[in-house]
Amino acid sequence: MYKWLVVLFLVLGSGQLWADVQDSDEAIHNELRSILTGLENAVNSGKYDQLPQYFHKDMTVTMSNQEALRSPEDIAKFFAFWFGEGGKLDHVEMKLDADALTKLYADKTIGVVHGNGVENTYLSDKRFFPMKTRWSATLIKDSDGKWRILSLHMGVNFLDNPVISMVEDNTKNLMLIGGGAGALIGLLIGFLLWRKRKPE
């Protein structure tokens, strides 16, 4: 009888321990989700000065244009250059989704996650490009207990994106215009030669 009580105690105790672990992990994942939401809200509202709080001081970030940022201060410079006065971009509407839960390592102090996204980019001349992206990130629990992004990589398909499509369309249009102009010039030259050879 005593042995069964011990077994029952161990089973119930392990169940409670597993529940505590699950609760702990859920709290971590909720905090990580809030970082993703915070990034989206800051970018979509144009409040770029709110972005550095989500990044580690030793961060490494590669943006969609493959520009590398090495510190939270670089974030402000990046957005000021592209979205500030005289910048080529007006604003971005960003939506990021994770493929799965963040994988936790090093006693749950490091997390690795990846996913997909859409960056609806509006140029200063009002042109619009819906850019599909893939991203991956490594997050670390900082010295103050908060999770922050240590590294982030944003990438686009350089073979299949609206910028390439625009270039291809422009190239086709130029070829059509060039072909039409060439045909007209050929007809004009032919007409002039015919007039020259025509007997008086």
168, 133: one domain: no
65, 115: one domain: yes
Contact 69, 59 (CB under 8 A): yes
Domain tally, the chain: 2
Residues in Cβ contact with 49 at an 8 Å cutoff, skipping those fewer than 6 apart? 76
Report the percentage of the chain scoring pLDDT > 90.
54
58, 74: one domain: yes
129, 192: one domain: no
Q: What is the pLDDT of residues 21-42, one digit of tens each?
A: 456 799 999 999 999 999 999 9
151, 90: one domain: yes
Torsion of CA 31, 91, 153, 149, to 10 degrees: -30
Q: Where in the sequence is the domain holding 179, given as residue range(s)?
A: 159-200
140, 200: one domain: no
CA distance 196 to 119: 61
Confidence of residue 103 (pLDDT cuts 50, 70, 90): very high
Confidence of residue 189 (pLDDT cuts 50, 70, 90): low
13, 96: one domain: yes
169, 107: one domain: no
Judged against a pLDDT cut of 90, whether residue 126 lies above it is answered with: no
Highest mean pLDDT among 82-96, 158-172, 176-190: 82-96
131, 198: one domain: no
* pTM listed for this prediction: 0.71
Judged against a pLDDT cut of 60, whether residue 14 lies above it is answered with: no
